[in-house]
Chain A
């Protein structure tokens, strides 16, 4: 875990090459080495918040994945919209500067059928993802801007930032308490962003101590209000924990997003050609 963290610091150091960075890096190493174990400051006998966050971050998620999903968007008046999607995802693990690539094909309803969406997620959290969408009504692939991470994905309560790979180092993590629920032990973690004026002021995360899944996350907005609650049922497929059903409820607007996953397959050896503009025009591989 520490090796991973050091590697990230090293990457940052190489990128900036400033003497101030060198100084801060040295100070950081000194502070960390001199600091008492974090667990001693949080819940005795339990890993520190940061250690838990690293463990969650390193939870196995496969090299690639295919999944089907039904998105149900419900507004405060109970009116619903549905989207059936087929998603391909591939982990790039920093190769070509990319964290991952994903390809989403919209199967229904008819007015969005054959729409495809391609995302190249950058390893650098500060960099914008590359995104394209194919609109069958135009018969054109269009590049779309991804700079605003607060934009909703498909009109849902999930924003692009939620879908991005967030680095452990972007937040400070504190283990608030340990809870027992139906015989299962949960860590309750508070993750506060280091960057000021980030989309969320904090997240409260319930983490299953046994398998490191997150069945519940509470998101607090910039003003500290509870913005949305994200609950997830997990299932293990081929030894990998994955979402089975997830519900995101916006506490301020009453809007709700439910995503039901099915036919999830891991490590299918997905070709890189799936994640290209060419695939956008072709439709689902």
Chain B
């Protein structure tokens, strides 16, 4: 971990370099003189003849023209190194030509000449250097005389004006009085990238005349940047109030989260996700002393404010390969609210399991490669970065109370042994031998999604090894240990049900021994976790999910601390009402072994597509020995009774945005 800042910088600089190169490449394409740019669209008239001239910055490599009917159109594909253009339409004031539309394809620009009348006139299309002209001839009907018009002219066109021959018609040119309005995109328009799809041509972008010749930015530069950039995010406040003494705010977190997606090329995209939090009520780094003092006492910016680069990754899509490189979350598994195969990223437990997994997972610097072959998808993971799961601070509201420690072979007297605790040893970041790796194979077969998973990773919690230093003198030496995870998942859909399951067998998992004479207080066992569940789409407004979850420690001789078989069930109800604006939901998790329960009802109301409010509660019920019950019953801590009663109500107000 000591080298993390250096490595982090390396990654960040590497990604920035890639961004720079990618952006530079794409922007260079915009500005490069070797790119074929449209300078002018020009209509001339001569009796019954019309000529549409397309003037480019350089000669196209080829042209291809064909007519279409109903409505009558002439399509001209101009092939060459294309500068992407926003789809646009340039209306003409003519009795024959309605308008000229343009759209960008990967290798060509497509011009569509929308014609008036049902019958296609005789036409010819020819190229002379950088000029493409389409001639339309209607000898069978009289066509009123019209004036020549410039339908489109780029700022740079002035520099090339000399190359455009004079109009064959004697009529003077007429420029449209104002910018052309936004217009439908041409049919057969290009498969534009995702980020550019939402952008609509604005009047300025399809303006037929240059407003400030010579002072405009490079055509397409800003548009290209804007089209390739996608910024979304939200601000929200999450406030929770304890139901039991002390009746104080559990939190009042103010979030700002922004996600930036930047499309470098057609095959590469960079994603940056940042998050900042401000909590004036409670320390983000909670501890018991702070919690016991008055609620509003944390004005220190250092304790109340956090900013975090959550994710930063580069996606590269190359034929059948998908590569994601950077700080990211990797999610496996099928279950709801439980993590069996979803153990690649460590987890933040400062709020136990109450915050969403997407917020609780700790992203890691990693490489993920997917390869698709026929019906199979192969996925490989490499995680050179290590971070441990983050438990709640000692003495804080959600401190784990049931973490076991090895029994001590205490020999009286003296009655109190001397115990030392060493610092946690953990794997070294970026050392190849300490890397984590994973593989997954997935396939859809006979109406089932199937996956096989393998992960060779470090435990997210340190194992408290015990050393006996002398009579009644002990030392705990916690360290992270490796495990192999073999697993799989499936789902099967029929009628209104989906049966799903996932399981994982951990080989050589470490468990704390209750035997005081055990050598180091730790034993290795095989450990199976699995969940089986069913989704039931009850009706249009209600979906239910029921799951059964079990942990099994094989060959547990009774010496291990804790249950060798643990069972739990869960119920999840999700519904929508009132034009999908009201979303009640309920999650209940019940630990069968100790009869403890976590119930989480909540209702979200969407005031608009961008503003929502959620009110809900988290109830902890049952025995303090259980996973959930540990936060239910009062626990004596530093002469105060409160820490176990963590049930709370909460309110969340969220405002999303998109730039």
Q: Write the residues of chain A forming the contact surface with B, with a CB cutoff of 8 angstroms.
A: 66, 68, 73-75, 79, 81-82, 84, 86, 105, 107-111, 113, 128, 130-132, 137-140, 142-148, 150-152, 155, 236-239, 255, 262-266, 268, 273, 276-278, 282-285
Contacts and interface: CB of A to CB of B under 8 A. Distances in A.
A144 B192 CA distance: 29
B194 A105 contact: yes
Contact of A130 (B232, B333, B370, B493): B493
A109 B317 contact: no
B71 interface: yes
Nearest to A143: B491
A82 B656 CA distance: 14
Contact of B372 (A144, A273, A285): A273
A263 B358 contact: no
Contacts of B576: 155
Interface in B571-591: 576, 578-581
Interface stretch (B12-20, B23-31, B182-190, B278-286): B182-190
B380 to A, nearest CB: 14
Interface of B: 68-71, 87, 184-185, 187-189, 191-192, 194, 197-198, 232-234, 315, 317, 320, 322, 329, 331, 333-334, 356-358, 370, 372, 377, 442, 444, 447, 449, 491, 493-498, 500, 535-537, 539-540, 576, 578-581, 606, 609-610, 612, 656-658
A78 to B, nearest CB: 10
19 contacts: A110-B657, A111-B610, A113-B232, A137-B358, A139-B329, A142-B334, A145-B494, A145-B495, A147-B494, A147-B497, A148-B539, A155-B580, A237-B187, A238-B68, A264-B187, A276-B372, A277-B449, A282-B322, A284-B194
Given A86-B194, A130-B444, A145-B495, 10 more contacts: A108-B198, A139-B331, A140-B333, A144-B537, A145-B498, A148-B496, A273-B320, A277-B444, A278-B377, A282-B322
B187 A137 contact: no
A138 B71 contact: no
A137 B356 contact: yes
B185 A143 contact: no
A81 B580 contact: yes
Contacts of A128: 493-495
A85 B442 CA distance: 28
Contacts of B540: 148, 150-152
A152 B579 CA distance: 11
B564 to A, nearest CB: 30
B198 A84 contact: yes
Nearest to A132: B449
Nearest to B329: A139
B502 to A, nearest CB: 11
Contacts of B322: 278, 282
Contacts of A109: 609-610, 656, 658
A51 to B, nearest CB: 23
Nearest to A108: B658
Contacts of B329: 139
A143 B372 contact: no
A282 B69 CA distance: 38
B471 to A, nearest CB: 53
Contacts of A86: 194, 197
B658 A110 contact: yes
Q: Which of B71, B187, B610 has the most CB of A within 10 A?
A: B187
A255 B495 contact: no
B194 to A, nearest CB: 4
Contacts of A111: 609-610, 612, 656
A109 to B, nearest CB: 4
Contacts of A145: 493-498, 535-537
Nearest to B491: A143
A113 B234 CA distance: 12
B370 A278 contact: yes
Given A75-B578, A236-B71, A143 B194 contact: no
B70 A236 contact: yes
A95 B278 CA distance: 56
Given A81-B579, A86-B194, A151-B537, A138 B500 contact: no
Contact of B579 (A84, A107, A239, A255): A255
